[in-house]
A = this chain, B = another copy of it.
Amino acid sequence: MVKEKKLVEAITSMDADFAQWYTDVVTKAELIDYSSVKGCMVIKPAGYAIWENIQKELDRRFKETGVENVYMPMFIPESLLQKEKDHVEGFAPEVAWVTHGGLEPLQERLCVRPTSETLFCDFYAREIESYRDLPKVYNQWCSVVRWEKTTRPFLRSREFLWQEGHTAHATAEEAEERTVQMLNLYADFCEEVLAIPVVKGRKTDKEKFAGAQSTYTIEAMMHDGKALQSGTSHNFGDGFARAFEIQFSDRNNQLQYVHQTSWGLSTRLIGGIIMVHGDDSGLVLPPRIAPVQVMVIPIQQRKEGVLEKAEEVRRSLLEAGIRVKTDDSDKSPGWKFSEQEMRGIPIRVEIGPKDIAAGQAVLVRRDTREKLAVSLDSLAAEAGKLLDTIQSDMLQRARAHRDAHTSTAHTYEEFKELIETRPGFVKMMWCADQECENRIKEDTTATSRCMPFEQEQIGDVCPVCGKKAKAMVYWGKAY
């Protein structure tokens, strides 16, 4: 029973200590293990299966837009990293350096990729000659390394898994179109599959990616009101193309620089799923991403016919295309319920002798704990419908939570009070001057999350400095 105890020991309540609650959930739902490699995590089966589902669904959506997958080396020679000035300034302080291969020191040290713009540029410079070679719409699934000082599982880890798309286009318009297209794809994915509503917008210059002309972002709000940058899409213009001399001859035989984009989404998003949907009993997974959607739990399973009926139920759910398992271990039903709740499995089916006699089983929703007695004949159909309901209810609840924690500030005093007393997004006008952004960060630790695509004219001036306002910005404290 040692093992059981580990799983169902009470976890810290969200309201008492959200950070500790998060740590409890990632370990007790068996998503990760801390490794002997400082700042790196072991992603365990229950965690990795979520990432596999994210990959499968995103990859399908990518390919529908013409994306092709490739694989680049994991090392970047120092001279290559240094070719684009802003980029190297942004990343050099946080890369891991390989200095020896086998028993010999390397002639030039290599960093482990923190991101692969430089490698793709180096490749495109050799690969692209003519307008016929464009566009290039490549992506890779891989791990990257950033030598962070403080780390948290999924949210900030020295190594993490992600996809990084890198494209090259003949025109600035086409590059901009692809940048926005991928941001929209990310946003749709988050809402439709992860039940996480996001704010789409553009990063300020201070917050944009090192080397980008513009960075677009999707920002999600966690249960504690903090923001999580959940995916970004960058338009590089021809900046990298000039640094790496990526040119093509156009239809008039004139040499032109390509226009490039990149876009990425990472295992960080698993942290987002946990912090948007979880509760004091553990993880709550949206049905569309849950590796196991239904857990069948037999009651009084040693009584004649119970396990057989549970197996019938499992098979009927499986045949209906539902990802289902049965827990027929020798633990008590109570333990099994707690485990299923901790792991965030969207529905459990309770079935015992009394249910069987009545020709029914009980469906229990993980998200609301509502119970629903259902005839065995219609169980698979009802479970399928219930999964859809849970998925849309979860999105709606997350949206309601986000909206309830989004407020508007007309003065800087009001802003400072809101940011301290009502954790969440605060909308406020901004003059586009980095000094005001810096001041807000110093005063409150809040940062500009984005200038949303859907702008609202809250006022005419920047409440911080009184100068003319250029944009409405979402501000917030962030992970």
Interface residues in chain A, defined as those with a beta carbon under 8 Å from any beta carbon in chain B: 2-3, 33, 35-37, 40-45, 48-49, 51-52, 68-77, 80, 93-103, 110, 112, 119, 122-123, 126-127, 129-130, 132-133, 138, 142-143, 145, 147, 158-159, 161
Determine whether the beta carbon of A71 is less than 8 Å from that of B42: yes
Docked CA distance A96–B132 (Å): 39
Contact of A159 among B2, B73, B143 (CB under 8 A): B73
Q: How many copies does the complex hold?
A: 2
| Nearest CB in chain B to that of A125: its residue | B36
Determine whether the beta carbon of A71 is less than 8 Å from that of B93: no
Q: Which residues of chain B are near A35, meaning CB under 8 Å?
A: 72-73, 119, 122-123
Say how far A269's CB is from chain B's closest CB, in angstroms: 15
Say how far A343's CB is from chain B's closest CB, in angstroms: 14
Contact of A102 among B69, B94, B102 (CB under 8 A): B94
Docked CA distance A3–B129 (Å): 8
Given A102-B147, A103-B93, A129-B3, does the pair A36, B80 have CB atoms closer than 8 Å?
yes
Given A98-B98, A123-B42, A132-B3, does the pair A75, B33 have CB atoms closer than 8 Å?
no
Given A42-B72, A73-B40, A119-B35, does the pair A97, B95 have CB atoms closer than 8 Å?
no
Determine whether the beta carbon of B98 is less than 8 Å from that of A71: no
| Nearest CB in chain B to that of A123: its residue | B42
10 smallest beta-carbon distances between A and B, as pairs: A40-B73, A45-B68, A101-B147, A43-B71, A97-B100, A102-B147, A37-B73, A99-B99, A96-B98, A48-B69
Given A3-B133, A93-B103, A102-B93, does the pair A48, B71 have CB atoms closer than 8 Å?
yes
Q: Which residues of chain B are near A119, meaning CB under 8 Å?
A: 35-37, 42
Given A41-B73, A77-B36, does the pair A98, B101 have CB atoms closer than 8 Å?
no
Q: Which residues of chain B are near A68, meaning CB under 8 Å?
A: 45, 48-49
Docked CA distance A49–B99 (Å): 33
Given A40-B73, A132-B3, A159-B73, does the pair A112, B126 have CB atoms closer than 8 Å?
no
| Nearest CB in chain B to that of A52: its residue | B69
Contact of A96 among B33, B48, B51, B100 (CB under 8 A): B100
Docked CA distance A22–B124 (Å): 24
Q: Which residues of chain B are near A43, meaning CB under 8 Å?
A: 70-71
A48-B68, A75-B159 are known; give 9 further A-B pairs, CB within 8 A: A2-B130, A3-B133, A35-B123, A37-B110, A51-B71, A73-B159, A74-B74, A94-B102, A99-B100
Docked CA distance A119–B42 (Å): 9
Given A2-B130, A129-B3, does the pair A75, B40 have CB atoms closer than 8 Å?
yes
Q: Which residues of chain B are near A100, meaning CB under 8 Å?
A: 96-97, 99
| Nearest CB in chain B to that of A146: its residue | B102
Say how far A369's CB is from chain B's closest CB, in angstroms: 29
Given A3-B132, A36-B80, does the pair A42, B69 have CB atoms closer than 8 Å?
no
Contact of A97 among B37, B99, B126, B132 (CB under 8 A): B99
Determine whether the beta carbon of B37 is less than 8 Å from that of A161: no
Docked CA distance A99–B145 (Å): 14
Say how far A292's CB is from chain B's closest CB, in angstroms: 12
Docked CA distance A51–B141 (Å): 13
Determine whether the beta carbon of B77 is less than 8 Å from that of A37: yes
Say how far A272's CB is from chain B's closest CB, in angstroms: 18
| Nearest CB in chain B to that of A97: its residue | B100
| Nearest CB in chain B to that of A44: its residue | B70
What would 16 A/B residue contacts be, using CB atoms closer than 8 Å? A3-B129, A37-B110, A40-B73, A48-B69, A48-B71, A52-B69, A71-B161, A95-B102, A96-B98, A96-B101, A96-B102, A96-B110, A98-B99, A98-B112, A99-B100, A112-B112
Q: Which residues of chain B are near A45, meaning CB under 8 Å?
A: 68-70, 138
Determine whether the beta carbon of A36 is less than 8 Å from that of B122: yes
Q: Which residues of chain B are near A48, meaning CB under 8 Å?
A: 68-71
Contact of A75 among B37, B51, B129, B138 (CB under 8 A): B37
Determine whether the beta carbon of A74 is less than 8 Å from that of B36: no
Q: Which residues of chain B are near A159, meaning CB under 8 Å?
A: 73-75
Q: Which residues of chain B are near A96, meaning CB under 8 Å?
A: 75, 98, 100-102, 110
Docked CA distance A75–B143 (Å): 12
